[in-house]
Structure 1
Amino acid sequence: MPELTQAERDNRPYLLYHTDGCHLCELAAALLDAADIGYRAIDICDDEYLAQRYGVSIPVLKAWDDRELHWPFNATQLQEFTGA
């Protein structure tokens, strides 16, 4: 995975591991968008390691300090995780 600059980290401090066509992933992205939380969507199908690690647990929101929030989560849990 390419390194992000500090500005990119500040603007998108979270990664959302997902895959296309996953309705739960779409729900998670909608929660993030509604809360105006910046994130970078990473399709786990593009990476064998990520597919093996997260294949049965997506969507997963990962912070830059390596904390992870696994689905299912709601707006309150998202707010607690992000501090937003």
Structure 2
Amino acid sequence: MTLIYYGRPNCALCDEGKQIVQLIQEEIDIEVVYRNIEDNDAWHEQFLLMIPVIEYQNEIIMFGHIDYVDLLTQLTEAEQRK
């Protein structure tokens, strides 16, 4: 299971979201690809007002405030559907 995490440096919500994702990695086996929206104009334009953004299987599953329980539930259910 691979998540794509869009954020940028000096973003308190992004840092908080990363910590939550790291806690979830202790619960379930997921790989996280971190993408800095400042490295790509398209990402910057698309996600600037939404970050942090978590994408799974080409679908945005969470953005803004990352909630531990909601994200863990979504990922656990996705894992069970496999």
Check whether TM > 0.5. yes
Identity of aligned residues (%): 15
SS of 2:5's partner is strand
TM-score normalised to structure 1 length: 0.78
The 4+ residue runs of structure 1 with deviation greater than 6 A are: none
Structure 1 contact 59–71 (Cα < 8 Å) conserved: yes
Paired letter, 1:14? L
Say whether residues 1:27 and 2:16 are aligned partners.
Answer: yes
Alpha-carbon distance in structure 1 between the residues aligned to 2:39 and 2:69:
30
Structure 1 contact 69–81 (Cα < 8 Å) conserved: no
Cα RMSD between the aligned structures? 1.5
Structure 1 or 2: larger strand share?
2
**Aligned twin of 2:56:** 63
Alpha-carbon distance in structure 1 between the residues aligned to 2:71 and 2:22:
11
Alpha-carbon distance in structure 2 between the residues aligned to 1:23 and 1:41:
15
1:31-83 deviation per Cα after TM superposition (whole angstroms, max 9, x unaligned): 01011142110000111010000001100000024243112131111112211
Structure 1 or 2: larger helix share?
2
Gaps of 5+ in 2: none
TM-score normalised to structure 2 length: 0.79
Which of the residues 12, 15, 39 maps onto 2:32? Answer: 39
